[in-house]
A and B are shown apart, each in its own frame.
Chain A
């Protein structure tokens, strides 16, 4: 099973690496623009947030946003294309267990999230003198976030029937959730009702923990954030496994 898992992961990494101009490079450019506009030009007028300079404040959220988008994009596009060109049959006829297939695709998403996240981190370090409060918190939050959104992308791909279906969720659900998850602001500045509503958005916990890893300050308890993320991962993993095992939209 280890060889089969390794094969899927290597295949996934090679897949997004071959098209690095589409997968790795654009997020780095976009992020640099975000930092230039929101951080460099507007940030000075905003001042500080959560006790730190605004540019420093938004960096963790921006890095995590690219991780979320890329982990999701990798599994949704890769698994949907495998369905579309029927290459998924290569796996279905072979003795690879469904857990290994799922784990392989999720690991591919995590690998892309990590590659892009690292690329953005390096790009950001040209603009700002970055310091990390806790490498452990940064890494665990990154890992759980990437796993969660890789699973979400996988589930989207299972249900997707067309290329439109793989862009609807990222555009109409993922993007608003990301922007409203406290990426550009601290939820402390929101009215009480919106603060409460933000706590139903899982991205808030990810951004908050990730920011804690960089800046050492957060608006919610780290353990609570980890519990939210872990619970959601378990839930999505069970759903994804069930869909795969039942062969939903894969087998008739």
Chain B
């Protein structure tokens, strides 16, 4: 089975000589939920722009579901649904019209497009606003509108560029559920995000872009395993001694009932056992860090 996306030696140099991508190789399997991470200016949006025919590449090859973009462009375009980072619809158009028009560009007749628009608008909870102008929507609603628009032609691959920016927690969770549902139905999803928690909880595979190059590509599980250090918040039902006793691992008293510990190689159970021997009984343990964030900062050298 061919990959959903195969990129080989993709290079993009803008007219001002800024090299946004340099000899990038990347592959995404069919049915994958794939995270493309990178700091601002890493080249993520440029890569997406080239995949979606919004930007011209300088060199390299892109193929989608086994189809070469250069020779079978229209077939490739039909395979992809894009939810871009910036709002890119006419703000003076009613939202239902935006969806119906988008379907029309893919050759879907108006009657069928209306049915699909109804289904999607209900799913993203915008059906009541279908006749409103897009400009009247909130930022989160506009994002959901772009998600629905990307799905109007039932693409095989959904590309989401910062889908959660400006979306509140409740809507974000509901959007995640929807995306998981689409992925379970077989849709390949490629996601760029600055919410690393989002990538960690949704994606199975990941690539990290830095300065126009892929510096890491692996499964999320394998990548997270590289982070051996754990930072935990431990909470006790009783008052903690002040000061805390000297232990074999770093410990910091946060308040009367909680402390933060940093474990390098020691397991959590060993740490709890050590604390128990000191008469400190722990009732709750929670992580104080986002492991992917730690790794991301380490890989992109933003943390010493």
Contact = CB atoms under 8 A, between A and B. Distances in A.
Interface of A: 1, 3-4, 6-8, 11, 14-15, 18, 81-82, 85-87, 89-97, 247, 251-252
A252 B81 CA distance: 21
B177 interface: no
B79 to A, nearest CB: 10
A86 B91 CA distance: 10
Contacts of A4: 104-107
A87 B86 CA distance: 10
Nearest to B80: A93
A14 B54 contact: no
A7 B92 contact: no
Given A6-B104, A87-B88, A95-B73, 9 more contacts: A3-B104, A4-B107, A8-B104, A90-B101, A93-B52, A93-B54, A97-B74, A251-B55, A252-B55
A93 B73 CA distance: 10
28 contacts: A3-B104, A3-B107, A7-B100, A7-B104, A11-B93, A11-B101, A15-B90, A15-B93, A18-B92, A85-B88, A85-B89, A85-B91, A86-B84, A86-B86, A89-B54, A90-B89, A90-B101, A90-B102, A90-B149, A92-B53, A93-B77, A94-B102, A95-B107, A96-B105, A251-B54, A252-B14, A252-B15, A252-B55
B156 to A, nearest CB: 14
Nearest to A14: B97
A212 to B, nearest CB: 40
Contacts of A92: 53-54
B90 A82 contact: yes
Interface string B85-120: 011111111000100111011111110000000000
Contacts of A251: 54-56
B126 interface: no
B78 interface: yes
Interface string B17-58: 000000000000000000000000000000000001111100
Contacts, number: 80
Contacts of A11: 93, 97, 101
Chain B interface residue number, banded: 35 or more
Contacts of A1: 107
Nearest to A89: B88
Given A87-B88, A87-B89, A252-B14, A94 B105 contact: yes
B101 A95 contact: no
Nearest to B108: A3
A85 B97 CA distance: 16
A247 B55 CA distance: 9
B206 interface: no
Contacts of B55: 251-252
A220 to B, nearest CB: 42
Contacts of A3: 104, 107-109
Contacts of A252: 14-15, 55-56
B78 A90 contact: no
Most buried by A among B54, B55, B80: B54
B148 interface: no
A89 B54 CA distance: 7
A47 B106 CA distance: 58
Contacts of A82: 90
A251 B53 CA distance: 9
A91 B102 CA distance: 8
Contacts of A247: 56
Contacts of B84: 86, 89
Interface in B140-166: 149, 153
Nearest to A247: B56
Nearest to B153: A94
A14 B82 CA distance: 25
B80 A95 contact: no
Nearest to B88: A86
A89 B108 CA distance: 18
Name which of A3, A81, A94, A247 has the most chain B CB atoms within 10 A of its CB.
Answer: A94
Q: Which of A7, A89, A93 has the largest count of B CB atoms less than 10 A from its CB?
A: A93
Nearest to A81: B90
Nearest to A87: B90
A33 to B, nearest CB: 29
B43 to A, nearest CB: 14
Contacts of B97: 11, 14
Contact of A7 (B89, B105, B153): B105
Contacts of A81: 90
Sorted nearest first, the 10 A-B pairs with minimum C-beta distance are A7-B104, A86-B88, A94-B105, A95-B74, A95-B77, A87-B90, A89-B88, A93-B52, A3-B107, A96-B105
A6 B100 CA distance: 12
A252 B93 CA distance: 27
A90 B92 CA distance: 15
A96 B108 CA distance: 12
Contacts of B92: 15, 18
Given A86-B88, A247-B56, A7 B101 contact: yes
